[in-house]
Structure 1
Amino acid sequence: MMNYETRFTEAGGAADILEDDDVRARRRRRMFISVAVLLVVLLAGIWFFMRGQDDAALAEGAAAKSVPTVTVFIPGRQTVERTIAATGSLAARREMPVGVAGEGGMVTRVLVEPGQWVSAGQVLATIDRDVQVEQANSLAAQINVARADARIAQSELDRSQALLSRGFISKADIDRKTATRDSANARVRVAQAQLNEAQARTGRLDIRAPAAGLVLTRAIEPGQVVSSASGILFRLAKGGEMELLAQLSEGDLAATTVGVNATVTPVGTAQAFKGQVWQVSPIIDPQTRQGTARIALSYDVALRPGGFAAAKIISGSQNAPLLPESAVQSDEKGNFVYVVGKDNKIERRGVTVGEVAENGVAINAGLNGTERVVLSAGGFLNAGETVNPVLQKSAR
């Protein structure tokens, strides 16, 4: 009996041990499953969280991409010169036409060419003077004859005065001989005056420069017969000074004053020459409604009288914001610009355009120079639109 119970007890204990092992194994499986589920849930949460962050970032990026980026700059204020553009013809400031001053004749020599500088009184051309020289020689001989007659008359008068004290000659004879002496002296002076006149006429056969200057044209050749009716034989520019006869409208002419500076650029060259307005026309052409401003220029080989040239006349200056032309727009309401205001929103600003210079457009009214002005792409913007402004230090 004891052995059986012992075996039963031992068998029951073994069964209990097996049962405990199964329980522990199931518990471990449930634990593993729970941990796995937790891990899956945790990973799923992390995945959903990261995806939400990415979606938010994508949404923010899309929103950022929808805001346009524009380039702006702050113009400030600067001195802008008012420039008047004009065109006209170049000419000698003081042109001197030279012709025959004397009786003329056949040209023997021409001593100058166009483009040559001459001094005052310099001989430009000579005319044959053989006849005039012979006439002068004849008059010189007549002077000698008159002087000889005057000497004889003086000697006879001296002898008569010596005889007067002795009573051999009367006072009337002395008066006649005195008159004869005076007449002979007068004939000497007349002959001398005639010789001087002939020499002066001969001297006028030389065609001379009336003043120092530059020879512009020559219309005379050796062998040519010229006279006072031959017209202009040479043209000279006094002192080589040139000028531009700039044609201006009535409004521009009214804004131009004597003494203002100008630059002149002849056609065919990029070289600009500095000049100064020295005369403003007091009248307006009733046909063209234009007047002339005369711009004085110093001599240069590129300044050819009769040539065409463009001028820029500085008629004044103003202190104003200066914008590039791309920043200024216009519509039926007038000229305007876009500025970036508060909260980076676009504002339309009406402006009054002033002087148009090479580097931009002056704004007379509408801006004070401290605004952030949109440089370009204004045609794609609307007032009230939010933008991303990028500041540029200076307008190009």
Structure 2
Amino acid sequence: MNYETRLTANQGVELLSEEEAARQARRRRLMIGVVALIAVAFAGLLAYRAFFGGAGTDAAPSQAMPVVTVIQPGQQAVDHVISVTGTLAARREMPVGVAGEGGMVSRVLVEPGQWVSAGQVLATIDRSVQVQTNAQLAAQINVARADARLAQSELDRAQSLVSRGFISKADVDRRTATRDSAVARVRVAEASLGESRARTDRLDIRAPEAGMVLTRNVEPGQVVSSGSGVLFRMAKGGEMELLARLSETDLSGLPVGAQAAVTPVGTDRSFTGRVWQVSPVIDPATRQGIARLALPYDPAIRPGGFATARIVRGTQQQPLLPESAVLSDEKGNFVYLVGKGNKVERRPVTTGTVTATGIAITSGLNGTEKVVMRAGGFLNPGETVKPALAGKN
């Protein structure tokens, strides 16, 4: 059997068994644990009293109630902001193609990003054949005019001789008809030349309105026709927009003219826009509609890009609370109030817009209540507290 020695009170030596030594070690560890637990509990009590402003341990029971800071939020003007995402696009996109017969492109005169005026030539198509046709028609006009002058001269001579009886009235009528026919042929030839010139002019691909060229899909040497599709895309006046997708709830009360701050992806710059059109239909698959936000031109706004926006739907009078005052659990959002008899009450609320100064409360409060600003997690409904109004001693 193992033994160990210890000094007795009279400095004698006593032998202890191994089992007894183990029991004494366990008792020492237990006593140390109890002392540590008491110390932790005492420190927690001191922290609780210091946090809630309670009195010392020797204070009266009426002074030992925790002090909580409360606020009476009242009613404040709160902007109802809707956060949305969408795609940037030209407000009025103009596709430009071949309006005439087409042919081989001889020159392309513009590049994407370039500003053009109304009627400016964007590209030209070879017109060598049309030039010769126009020259031929111009010559035919000269021939018709010569015939018309000759017919008029013969008619004039006939009219001078009919009174003398050298020419009958029937001959005069025939010469008159010949003159009229010659004049008509002149007009036909002039009309043919005008038509040919108009067709030739349509070989110039022109900008329908002033604006900015977005895309170019044609190169010199390419053969194009009316079936070639879109050769250029333009933004009328350089005006841009954001096609923002909103839920049908947000879309229903969105007014035309509402202001918005639009931030394209890839930049920290925001641009001021306004709602200029609200979609009259809702997509049955997504339950969303489109709000179109007009934007001024800026190189950072690129059609086809992605952007976020904050639309100010309107301003309402609502209570505004700091974020520390609003709590939530499985039942939803709520706040703690200090009611009659300084008793803590739980009040469910509905939150609205989150601003830089706090959270708007859309329902549950009228603004006259005393709302606990912080430390609500340490309170329980029915607990008696000592309220201290924020900003006052």
> What TM-score, normalized by structure 1, do the two folds share?
0.78
1:277 corresponds to = 275
2-side partners of 1:92 and 1:369: how far apart? 45
2:185 corresponds to = 187
Which stretch shifts more, 172-181 or 366-375? 366-375
1-side partners of 2:100 and 2:278: how far apart? 38
Which stretch shifts more, 310-319 or 62-71? 62-71
- 1:59/1:291 Cα in 2 relative to 1: closer, same or farther (>3 Å)? closer
Is the contact between residue 334 and residue 350 of structure 1 (CA under 8 Å) also seen in structure 2? no
Is the contact between residue 337 and residue 371 of structure 2 (CA under 8 Å) also seen in structure 1? yes
Name the larger-Rg structure: 1
2-side partners of 1:357 and 1:307: how far apart? 27
Is the contact between residue 79 and residue 353 of structure 2 (CA under 8 Å) also seen in structure 1? no
- 1:167/1:264 Cα in 2 relative to 1: closer, same or farther (>3 Å)? same
Is the contact between residue 346 and residue 382 of structure 1 (CA under 8 Å) also seen in structure 2? no
2:299 corresponds to = 301
> What TM-score, normalized by structure 2, do the two folds share?
0.79
Residues 333-363 of structure 1 show CA distances to partners (whole Å, capped at 9, x for unaligned) of: 54321234567x4522414324222232212
2:350 corresponds to = 353
Q: 2:237 aligns with which of 235, 239, 257?
A: 239
Q: 1:219 aligns with which of 217, 220, 228?
A: 217
The equivalences for 1:1-396 within 5 A come to 59-60=57-58, 68=66, 70-341=68-339, 345=342, 347-359=344-356, 360-387=358-385, 391-393=389-391
2-side partners of 1:81 and 1:123: how far apart? 49
Is the contact between residue 104 and residue 228 of structure 1 (CA under 8 Å) also seen in structure 2? yes
1-side partners of 2:133 and 2:305: how far apart? 48
2-side partners of 1:66 and 1:151: how far apart? 124
2-side partners of 1:294 and 1:196: how far apart? 44
Does the residue aligned with 2:58 lie in a helix, a strand or coil?
Answer: helix
Give me the CA root mean square deviation. 2.5
In structure 1, list runs of 5 or more residues that go unmatched: 1-56
Does the residue aligned with 1:60 lie in a helix, a strand or coil?
Answer: coil
Give percent identity, aligned residues only.
69
Is the contact between residue 80 and residue 355 of structure 1 (CA under 8 Å) also seen in structure 2? no
2-side partners of 1:339 and 1:371: how far apart? 7
Which stretch shifts more, 94-103 or 156-165? 156-165
1-side partners of 2:244 and 2:362: how far apart? 27
1-side partners of 2:331 and 2:232: how far apart? 61
In structure 2, list runs of 5 or more residues that go unmatched: 1-54
Q: How many residues align?
A: 337
2-side partners of 1:205 and 1:226: how far apart? 10
Per-residue deviation, 1:368: 3.4
- 1:82/1:261 Cα in 2 relative to 1: closer, same or farther (>3 Å)? same
Amino acid at match of 1:114: P
Does the residue aligned with 1:121 lie in a helix, a strand or coil?
Answer: coil
2-side partners of 1:181 and 1:82: how far apart? 82
Which stretch shifts more, 251-260 or 204-213? 251-260
1-side partners of 2:207 and 2:278: how far apart? 30
1-side partners of 2:281 and 2:206: how far apart? 36
Per-residue deviation, 1:240: 1.3
